[in-house]
Amino acid sequence: MNKTFIAAALAVAAVSPFAAKADENNQLDNFFVAGNLGQSNYRLGGVSDKTDVFQNVRFGWRWNGIVGAEIGYAYLGKVKNDFNFGNSWAKPRAAQIGVNAKYNFHDSWFVTGHGGYLRSRTNSGLTVGDTNVFTQKSWNNGWYAGAGVGYDVTKNVSLALNYDNYHVKNGRAGADQPQTNANVAAYSASIEYRF
- 169 vs 162: CA distance, rounded Å: 23
At residue 113, φ and ψ (nearest 5 deg) are: -155, 150
**Domains in the chain: boundaries:** 3-194
Q: Are 179 and 136 in contact (CB under 8 A)?
A: no
pLDDT one-digit tens code per residue, 150-167: 999 999 999 999 999 999
Distance spanning both ends of the chain, measured CA to CA: 35
Q: What is the pTM of this model?
A: 0.81
What beta strand segments (E) does 64-156 contain? Answer: 67-75, 79-82, 86-106, 109-128, 131-152
Amino acid identity of residue 165, one-letter, is N
CATH fold label, 3-194: Porin (2.40.160)
Q: Are 114 and 101 in contact (CB under 8 A)?
A: yes
Model pLDDT, residue 1: 46
pLDDT one-digit tens code per residue, 19-51: 444 445 545 568 999 999 999 999 887 788 889
